[in-house]
Amino acid sequence: MIDITTLTIATAHTHLINKDFFARDLAEAYLAEIKKTNGDINAYLEIYDDVLAQADNADKIIASGTATLLTGIPIALKDNLLITGKHVTSASKILEGYVAPYDATVVDKLKKEHVVFLGRTNMDEFAMGGSTENSAFGVTKNPLDMTRVAGGSSGGSAAVVAMNGALGALGSDTGGSVREPATFCGVVGLKPTYGGVSRHGLMAMGSSLDVIGPITKTVTDAEILFNAIKGQDMFDSTTYPDGQYPQNTNKKLVIGVPYHILEQEGIDQSVRDNFTESIKKLEQLGYEIQDISLPNIGYSLAVYYILMPAEVSSNLARFDGIKYGLHVDGDNLLQDYLKTRAQGFGPEVRRRILIGTYVLSAGYHDAYYNKAILLRQKISDEFAHAFQKVDAIVTPTTPTPSFKIGEKAHDPLSMYLADIFTVPANIVGIPAISIPSGMVTYEGSTLPVGLQIMAPHAHESVLFEISKKFLGE
Amino acid sequence: MITIKDIYHLADLARIKLEETEAEHITTEIDSILGYVGQIQGSGGDMRPEVPALHNVMRDDVVTNEKGQYTEALLHNAPLREGDYLKVKKIL
């Protein structure tokens, strides 16, 4: 019997190489665990029918001596990443039955390492949400407390890692969708630098913000997956080559804390206390802590909820009931569009399309979209300025631990406020990681909270170094 | 203040048919969200549009796949097809 509760990608790899067990045994252990727990948690939308065949193939590669760190490792994919011949729906009714015609670049890269793909994970429809409650296929429950949300939008990907349903998973992060669910489920979530990982084959939400990132149990595992999926790609012109950004050579890292953003309302005391302890721990580990100011960071969330819906309204215009997915028949072509999009999209997606249409419409474009673009530049400049003095910036990942299922479902704005610490990294395009920083008591439950670390463009190495020290890896 | 009439107009532009029951509460929700994001109007003065440091990177428009490689996989997803064409209602 394989004890999957203590297994990581790194240790599983050693076991596979040492022939302690085969990739097939490992895959079977995960399939058995998923069968036991997924019914209640609803983290997987589908388990692929060729898992054991993939594992057998991985075993051949291992036997031939050409295995990489990821060969035979069971991995889950968020339901917005294309994998040839399999259903991919972005948890939307409008794509029910859609079969991917090609592999996303990240999937192609992992296939070349002979990863074992277990299945596709639940998410908020088209990655719009912070709780997976916007999925057309039911909410994903938090494996640590089944009355609470797993977070979102990559809630399924975080939950499968937390419930031992995969050794790692890929998610996508537009405003916190990897980091927030990782925090809620007590695991590690990395949002790489914008352009660090190809978006080819990722269903687009906010194209100037989206990035694919790993969710894992350890920082070491996140680094392994990140190294496997990163790099320039001819199919995504926003990916950058090695050497695009100068690398930090500072020996002794200085960490900045924008204490002023902790003064705003809505941040739970348990999160503040935990954050204070995390800062103490970083000091004890030898890092110099500096109070920094990011004067316009408070506008980040408002900027985000203008730019993202604007991009959403353009990106989702392609779902017209003609090229793929759902088709609802009307009296004429226009009625086909109107009916298909009304029935195919859920309420949150429709809301964001309408907001995006509004902020881009004549008469409001300058006041909303153009102003938000200016502020985005301003916030980016302030981060660049801060990074002249510090090597990394830390904040809590979320203002509260995981909330109850249904608690915010009827108040979209209160749901948006959960993204307050995570959206700046997307607006600026810098890498950010969320790592578990302890358990707190919140509304009578014991729940995990996360520490977010941000670094300048292409400095994921700084995030890994600090995170590993923090977690004692 | 956004009105229900504005919402119907936006839904028309976005090609989404709104039911009356939904239009009312979506108006309230969007009004509160626009109220929140509208705070950017109050942001500070010295912002000028500048040429962004990032610029478009274009590659040569070269063929990256075999002829017909994806035809069947793509058309398989179409709700209505006729041979290798998508079938749509008349446009004009």
List residues bridging with A78 in a β-sheet: A121
Nearest to A174, CA basis, from A271, A309, A313 = A309
pLDDT at B79 over 80: yes
Q: Residues A136, A359, A322, CA angle at the centre, nearest 5°?
A: 45
Contacts of B47 in chain A (CB under 8 A): 374-375, 377-378
Measure CB to CB from residue A321 to each of B6, B11, B79 and give the nearest one.
B79
CA A370 to chain centre: 27
State the architecture of A9-229 in CATH terms.
Alpha-Beta Complex (3.90)
**Is A278 one of the catalytic residues?**
no
For the four alpha carbons of A123, A127, A129 and A130, in that order, the dihedral sign comes to positive
Side-chain half-sphere CA neighbours of A327 within 13 A? 18
- Measure A472 CA to nearest chain B CA, in Å: 38
A320 touches chain B (CB under 8 A): yes
Summarize the confidence of residues A94-105 as an average pLDDT: 96
Q: Looking at chain B, which residue has its C-alpha nearest residue A333?
A: B89
At A1 the pLDDT is 79
- Measure B80 CA to nearest chain A CA, in Å: 7
Nearest to A180, CA basis, from A371, A425, A344, A370 = A425
pLDDT-based confidence at residue A146 (cuts at 50, 70, 90)? very high
- Measure A357 CA to nearest chain B CA, in Å: 6
A339-363 pLDDT, tens digit per residue, is: 999 999 999 999 999 999 999 998 9
Q: Looking at chain B, which residue has its C-alpha nearest residue A379?
A: B47
Three-state secondary-structure class, residue A293: coil
Q: Which of A153, A172, A270, A434 is catalytic?
A: A153
Q: Which of A172, A177, A198, A270 is catalytic?
A: A177
Contacts of B90 in chain A (CB under 8 A): 332-333
One-letter amino acid at B25 equals H
Summarize the confidence of residues A276-305 as an average pLDDT: 97
CA B28 to chain centre: 22
Nearest to A467, CA basis, from A448, A450, A445, A449 = A450
A154-199 pLDDT, tens digit per residue, is: 999 999 999 999 999 999 999 999 999 999 999 999 999 999 999 9
**Is A445 one of the catalytic residues?**
no
Contacts of A236 in chain B (CB under 8 A): none
Nearest to A400, CA basis, from A423, A420, A412, A418 = A418
Q: Looking at chain B, which residue has its C-alpha nearest residue A297?
A: B43
Q: Which residues contact A248 (CB under 8 A, 6 or more apart)?
A: A391, A456, A459, A462
Torsion of CA A163, A123, A183, A288, to 10 degrees: 130
DSSP A441: E
CB atoms within 10 A of CB B62: 6
Measure CB to CB from residue A302 to each of B39, B86, B88 and give the nearest one.
B39
> Which of B3, B17, B87 would best serve as a mutation to test chain A binding (most A beta carbons within 10 A)?
B17
Measure CB to CB from residue A237 to each of B34, B58, B74 and give the nearest one.
B58
Measure CB to CB from residue B89 to each of A238, A333, A412 and give the nearest one.
A333
pLDDT at A400 over 70: yes
Nearest to A457, CA basis, from A422, A431, A432 = A431
pLDDT at A432 over 90: yes
pLDDT at A102 over 90: yes
Q: Residues A248, A239, A233, CA angle at the centre, nearest 5°?
A: 125
Q: Under CATH, to which class is B4-42 assigned?
A: mainly alpha
Three-state secondary-structure class, residue A103: coil
Q: Which residues contact A331 (CB under 8 A, 6 or more apart)?
A: none
Summarize the confidence of residues B7-19 as an average pLDDT: 96
Coarse DSSP helix, strand, coil percentages of chain A, rounded to the nearest 5 percent: 40, 15, 40
pLDDT at B53 over 80: no
One-letter amino acid at A97 equals G
Summarize the confidence of residues A79-85 as an average pLDDT: 98
A338 touches chain B (CB under 8 A): yes
Torsion of CA B76, B77, B80, B85, to 10 degrees: -60
A220-242 pLDDT, tens digit per residue, is: 999 999 999 999 999 999 999 98
Measure CB to CB from residue A302 to each of B18, B19, B36 and give the nearest one.
B36
pLDDT at B15 over 80: yes
Summarize the confidence of residues A287-295 as an average pLDDT: 97
For tokens 């036991």, what's the residue? A36
pLDDT at B46 over 80: no
At A414 the pLDDT is 85
Contacts of A96 in chain B (CB under 8 A): none
Contacts of A327 in chain B (CB under 8 A): 79-80
- Measure B84 CA to nearest chain A CA, in Å: 12
> Which of A126, A299, A354 would best serve as a mutation to test chain B binding (most B beta carbons within 10 A)?
A354
Contacts of A208 in chain B (CB under 8 A): none
pLDDT at B44 over 80: no
At A457 the pLDDT is 96
pLDDT at A297 over 80: yes
For tokens 């700046």, what's the residue? A424
- Binary contact (A412, B29; C-beta < 8 A): yes
Domain extents for chain A? 9-229
At A412 the pLDDT is 84
Q: Would you say A173 and A211 are in contact if contact means Cβ atoms under 8 Å apart?
A: yes
DSSP A404: B
Start-to-end CA span in chain B (Å): 37
Measure CB to CB from residue B88 to each of A299, A333, A341 and give the nearest one.
A333
Three-state secondary-structure class, residue A452: strand
Separation between Cα atoms, residue A38 and residue A268, nearest integer Å = 31
- Binary contact (B32, A354; C-beta < 8 A): no
List residues bridging with A257 in a β-sheet: A291
pLDDT-based confidence at residue A74 (cuts at 50, 70, 90)? very high
pLDDT at A409 over 90: no
Domain extents for chain B? 4-42
A384 touches chain B (CB under 8 A): no
| Percent of chain A topping pLDDT 90 | 94
**Is A78 one of the catalytic residues?**
yes
pLDDT at A88 over 70: yes
